[in-house]
Chains A and B, each alone.
Chain A
């Protein structure tokens, strides 16, 4: 019943199989000598085998290209995050924001590529299996072909040839379609891969070559600017220390609570050098010890420290625009 419905209720499965059979029969009908069909078909099978193997190689090439791009994008994303972190630590939230926006863009491309990669991988596996299956069928066909040729007359051979032929022709149709699908997918991926290459070249996803990486160059500028500035602060500090015999750079890293809360008390309660020394010990900012000279006038230490502490931090963001760094 299920096999013998009318054309209207034959179902998709049966109709598709009839379409395949019709194709095979059409090809068979063209042949005058049925045994000729065998050799002709065998040639076409070998050609198809070559084609499907080339298809596997093509898909693999595409997959590797996507893989390469994924690695590049991942590096970009990592680098942009580092840059964002660095920018933030330098108080440049605007730069950090820009870096993170690019990272997010790189990340979404990456997710897209991951999906494509999985598709290509699946396609490659399918084609590989298809090629193995076709190889097995082609081998079976060759064996059968020799048997038919050796054993049967042209008239007797007909039925057996038809069987062998429709079997192999269905497989060939299937593999042919698989190759076509793989080619279509690969073409789509290549178009996308080309678009991503262009996007990367434009610098929108951060150029790994570095020469177009404006975030990095600005960060470099700031950090070389801040290097200059902290050196300057250190030198100033030394100068001040030797002039005023003060503790050099004691406020550079903060610790304002200890410095501000305890020192005034010392000044009020007792102006002994020993206590001033104690006040510095609990703080994490312990200044370079060798240059330490016991303060003779604790009140002055109080006045200078905030000035020195303020220098590197407050001046940092503004330095980006200053011309200390000529290579921008």
Chain B
């Protein structure tokens, strides 16, 4: 599957790696729900590190939508909340 890290680009990731990512993503989501800043920072950093380590960067000229999209590495919890709503940060 294809995972995008916002601000960095897309990666092709094996499905079994995606299961691992999902585990971390659950932590990330619960951190956002509980406004737990420390947990949020840790979970996001682990997620991104995992994608970078396990994924292969997708060539820039491949035009495919991603299955999963991850926030910027220096995103705040507030930015992530906005990303999750349609009114959020995505322009146009």
Give chain A's interface residues, CB within 8 Å of chain B: 2-3, 9, 11-17, 19-24, 27, 44, 126, 129-130, 132-133, 136-137, 139-141, 144, 163-164, 166-168, 170, 172-174, 176-178, 180-181
Contacts and interface: CB of A to CB of B under 8 A. Distances in A.
B84 A180 contact: no
B62 interface: yes
Contacts of A2: 18-19, 22
Interface residues of B, number: 39
A23 B60 contact: no
B63 A16 contact: no
B10 to A, nearest CB: 9
Closest 4 CB pairs of A and B: A136-B60, A176-B91, A167-B63, A13-B68
Contacts, number: 117
A163 B89 CA distance: 23
B68 to A, nearest CB: 4
Interface of B: 3-4, 6-7, 9, 18-19, 21-22, 25-26, 28-29, 32, 47, 59-72, 80, 83-86, 88-92
Given A3-B67, A173-B91, A178-B6, 13 more contacts: A11-B28, A13-B22, A14-B68, A20-B69, A133-B60, A163-B64, A170-B4, A176-B90, A177-B6, A177-B89, A177-B90, A177-B91, A178-B7
B63 to A, nearest CB: 4
Contacts of A181: 7, 72
26 contacts: A2-B22, A3-B18, A3-B67, A12-B70, A12-B84, A13-B3, A13-B21, A14-B25, A14-B68, A16-B71, A17-B68, A17-B69, A19-B86, A20-B69, A137-B60, A140-B61, A140-B63, A163-B63, A163-B64, A163-B65, A170-B65, A170-B66, A174-B4, A177-B89, A180-B91, A181-B72
- Interface class of chain A by DSSP: helix
A178 to B, nearest CB: 5
Contact of A140 (B9, B62, B65): B62
A23 B92 contact: yes
Contacts of A144: 63
Nearest to B7: A178
A131 B21 CA distance: 28
Nearest to A177: B89
Nearest to B21: A13
A136 B47 CA distance: 27
Nearest to A44: B92
A20 B70 CA distance: 11
A186 to B, nearest CB: 15
A22 B69 CA distance: 13
B92 A19 contact: no
A172 B83 CA distance: 15
A11 B25 contact: yes
Nearest to B67: A17
A178 B74 CA distance: 12
Contact of B26 (A9, A22, A44, A141): A9
Given A19-B84, A133-B60, A167-B64, A172 B92 contact: yes
A133 B57 CA distance: 12
Contact of B92 (A126, A130, A173): A173
A176 B90 CA distance: 7
Contacts of B7: 126, 130, 174, 177-178, 181
